[in-house]
Amino acid sequence: MHALMGIESDLGDWRRTHHTSQLSSSDDEVTLMGYIASIRDHGNIIFIMLADKDGEVQLVFKKHDGNERIFSLAKSLREHSSIAVKGRVKASKQAPMGIEVVPEELKVLSLAYSIPPFSVYSRTFPSIDVRLDLRAIDLRRYYMKSIFRLRHKVLKAIRGFLDTQGFMEVNTPKIISTASEGGASLFPVFYFDREAFLAQSPQLYKEQLVTAFEKVYEIAPIFRAEPSRTNRHLAEAISVDVEEAFVDYRDVMNLLESLVIHVIESLNSGAKEELQALKLSINTDRGFPRYTYTQIVDILRSNGYKIEWGDDFTNEHLQFLGDTIKGYYFIVDWPLRLRPFYTKNKDNDTSIAEAFDLMHGDLEISSGSTRINRKDILLERLKMQGLRTESFEYHLKVFDYGMPPHAGFGLGLERFLMAITGLDNIRDATFYPRDIDRLVP
């Protein structure tokens, strides 16, 4: 047992009266709670920065204030301990926020028994693995806190936009019997007495759901057993999936562009504090450039890159594109054989897909297309891609009942957050990343 353990108290009937962000010098008696961001001990006076959900305030403990017990309790504390204080707010020119709080009562709710290998103020820090091993505490760093507060506002803006556009939120099963995009990259699940898989996308379900609801979206985890160790792949990620009936890929490209613009405008008006904390200035013009796949191939060739029409782009290609084309842009009209079986070809060309990627620099953040809505064509494409049509029986059945024309896209939330924040490792765009090497915490 730690020597200090006896000084911890329960919360009891204490309740916070203010968050630190709500304090002003006109407040008198306040009850604050949070964790200790820093301590400066000057012998007879101790300054403690108390941090909570969305701010911090300086607490001042003086030895000769007539409250020796509190002073010596404060003296024994370490950074990260959770405390509660009752005290008085005082204006103070020296204090970082223009006010400070002089505690009259102090409860130590939970001691820190160790000091983590990073400060809450640091933007530079040890390796990501050291931080991820102690992720909950790493998230107390103001930089990471701002990233995830921003993430919350991105999600809220996405839902707000889709709601006003008449989309309905859906949830589709994550345990499935069949791969939606071929058999690769699936995690097997032992489902009662059967083999099942984790869904790598809600693709077939969201397509089915447009038959009744026309405009649907889902924001949910997707699972990909890709054994890659890059800074832009996760084994478990959050996908913003959108599907709409009676439109084609041009319509959903416009929708996606409006969505991105709406999110950026919402952050500029409603996340000023986070953007400032992250030293970000984000602005994007409407009218994202649209290049056809063929144009991109020509650009690459004329810059000395070797690529055949029909090849997928390599990392080297993408890097060159990212250096050449700044910001958001679409690559459209892909070779059909590079896209999944449910992708519709252009009316006048069976080798070209009505498909697009939304890029930000060298990063693909979204993929979408017009989908096939005829059973005979879908069957043909399944066979062409060497997939077992029997596995898709339950999906194909829906196409017997008037499946409307439809189109949609999937937007990778973490990648979108990378595009917005400039994070260079996707692991920091999620709370607890999963990859081939990491299953804990």
Q: Which of residues 130-149 bind its own copies (CB under 8 A)?
A: 133-137, 139-140, 144-145, 148-149
Q: How many C-beta neighbours within 10 Å does residue 398 have?
A: 15
Contact flag: residue 249 with its own copies (CB under 8 A):
no
- Closest of 99, 132, 96 to residue 116, by C-alpha: 132
Q: Which residue has the tokens 């991820």?
A: 132
Helix (H) or strand (E) holding 221: strand 215-223
Q: Does 158 bind its own copies (CB under 8 A)?
A: no
Residues 144 and 118 sit within 8 Å (Cβ to Cβ) = no
By residue count, the chain amounts to 441
Q: Pick from 8, 27, 65, 273: which binds its own copies (CB under 8 A)?
A: 8
- Binding residues with its own copies: total (CB under 8 A): 107
Least Å distance, CB 303 to its own copies, is 36
The distance of closest approach from Cβ of residue 336 to its own copies in the complex, given in angstroms and rounded to an integer, is 16
Among 23, 238, 260, 387, binds its own copies (CB under 8 A): 238
Binding segment for its own copies (CB under 8 A), chosen from 191-199, 274-282, 309-317, 325-333, is 191-199
Looking at 23, 147, 198, 426, which residue binds its own copies (CB under 8 A)? Answer: 198
Interface with its own copies in residues 94-113 (CB under 8 A): 109-113
Of 46-75, binders to its own copies (CB under 8 A) are 52-53
- The footprint of its own copies on residues 325-364 (CB under 8 A) is 347
- Per-residue contact track with its own copies, 371 to 410, x per CB under 8 A? --xxxx-----------------xx-xxxxxxxxx-----
184 binds its own copies (CB under 8 A): no
| Rounded to 5°, angle at Cα 159 from 329 and 340 | 50
Please give the Cα distance from 142 to 94 (Å, whole number). Answer: 22
CA dist 396 and 87 (Å) reads: 67
Using rule CB under 8 A, residue 116 touches its own copies: yes
Task: Tell which residue, 251, 241, 252, has the closest CA to residue 416.
Answer: 241
Could you say which of 180, 200, 367, 430 contacts its own copies (CB under 8 A)?
430
Rounded-to-integer distance, Cα 409 and Cα 278, Å: 29
Q: What track of x and - describes contact with its own copies for positions 253 through 282 (by CB under 8 A)?
A: ------------------------------
Dihedral sign, Cα of residue 426, residue 427, residue 428, residue 429: positive
**DSSP H or E segment with residue 335:** none
| Least spacing, CB of residue 395 vs its own copies, in Å | 7
Burial class (CB in 10 A: 0-12, 13-18, 19+), 380: middle
User: Based on CB atoms, which residue is closest to its own copies, 235 or 325?
Assistant: 235
